[in-house]
Chains A and B, each alone.
Chain A
Amino acid sequence: MDQQICNVKPLLEVDSVTIRYQTSTQEIVAAEDVSFSVFPSDRFILLGPSGCGKSTLLKSIGGYIAPSEGEIRLKKERIREPGPDRVFVFQEFDQLLPWMTVSENLCFALTNGRRCRSRKEAVEIADRYLEKVKLWKFRNSYPHTLSGGMKQRAAIARGLAMQPSILLMDEPFAALDALTRRQMQDELLELWEETKFTVIFVTHSIDEGIVLGSRILILSPHPGRVRAEVNTHQMDRSQASAPLFAEIRDRIYGMLFDHRLPVEEAAS
Chain B
Amino acid sequence: MSTYDAPLHLDGALVVRPEYEIPLAPHTPENAVSRRLSPFARMKQSAAIRKATIILLTIVAWQLYTTLDHVNELIFPTFSETIAALVHSLSNGELPGRISLSLLTLLESYAIGLGCAGLLTIFAVQSVFGRDVLSTLTAMFNPLPAIALVPLAMLWFGLGAFSLMFVVAHSVLWAIALNTQSGFLSVSETYRMVGRNYGIKGIPFVYKVLIPAALPSILSGLKIGWAFAWRTLIAAELVFGANQGSGGLGWFIFENSQNLMTANVFAGLLVVMIIGVAVENGVFQVVERHTIRKWGMQQ
If A99-B295, A99-B297, A145-B296 touch, whether A88 touches B194 (CB-CB below 8 Å) is yes
Min CB–CB distance B289 → chain A (angstroms): 13
Q: How many residues of A contact B (CB 8 A)?
A: 26
Min CB–CB distance B158 → chain A (angstroms): 45
Binding stretch for chain B, among A29-37, A108-116, A193-201, A248-256: A108-116
Assembled-state Cα–Cα distance A142/B291 (Å): 11
Are B191 and A94 neighbours in the complex by a CB distance under 8 Å?
yes
* Pick from A82, A94, A97, A145: contact of B196, CB under 8 Å: A82
B212 in the interface, Cβ–Cβ < 8 Å?
Answer: yes
Binding stretch for chain A, among B10-18, B145-153, B197-205: B197-205
* Pick from A64, A92, A112: contact of B198, CB under 8 Å: A112
A129 in the interface, Cβ–Cβ < 8 Å?
Answer: no
A213 in the interface, Cβ–Cβ < 8 Å?
Answer: no
* Pick from A94, A112, A145: contact of B200, CB under 8 Å: A112
Are A82 and B296 neighbours in the complex by a CB distance under 8 Å?
no
Are A113 and B190 neighbours in the complex by a CB distance under 8 Å?
no
CB neighbours of B208 from chain A (8 A): 108, 112
B265 in the interface, Cβ–Cβ < 8 Å?
Answer: no
Assembled-state Cα–Cα distance A144/B291 (Å): 13
CB neighbours of A92 from chain B (8 A): 188, 190
B interface, by DSSP: helix, strand, loop or mixed?
helix
Interface centre among A64, A95, A97, A108 (most CB of B within 10 A): A97
Q: Which residue of A lies closest to B292 (CB)?
A: A99
Are A84 and B198 neighbours in the complex by a CB distance under 8 Å?
yes
B213 in the interface, Cβ–Cβ < 8 Å?
Answer: yes
Q: Which residue of B lies closest to A90 (CB)?
A: B190
Min CB–CB distance A198 → chain B (angstroms): 17
If A83-B199, A112-B199, A145-B296 touch, whether A97 touches B194 (CB-CB below 8 Å) is yes
Chain B, 212-232, CB within 8 A of any chain A CB = 212-213, 215
CB neighbours of B294 from chain A (8 A): 142
If A97-B191, A112-B208 touch, whether A87 touches B197 (CB-CB below 8 Å) is yes
Assembled-state Cα–Cα distance A28/B194 (Å): 26
Given contacts A99-B291, A143-B296, 15 further A-B contacts (CB under 8 A): A81-B196, A82-B199, A83-B199, A84-B199, A92-B190, A95-B190, A95-B194, A97-B191, A97-B194, A97-B213, A98-B296, A99-B212, A99-B295, A144-B295, A144-B297
Can you list 11 pairs linking A and B with CB atoms under 8 Å apart? A82-B197, A82-B199, A84-B198, A95-B191, A97-B213, A99-B215, A112-B208, A113-B197, A113-B198, A144-B295, A144-B297
* Chain B residues near A (Cβ < 8 Å): 188, 190-191, 193-194, 196-200, 208-209, 212-213, 215, 291, 294-297
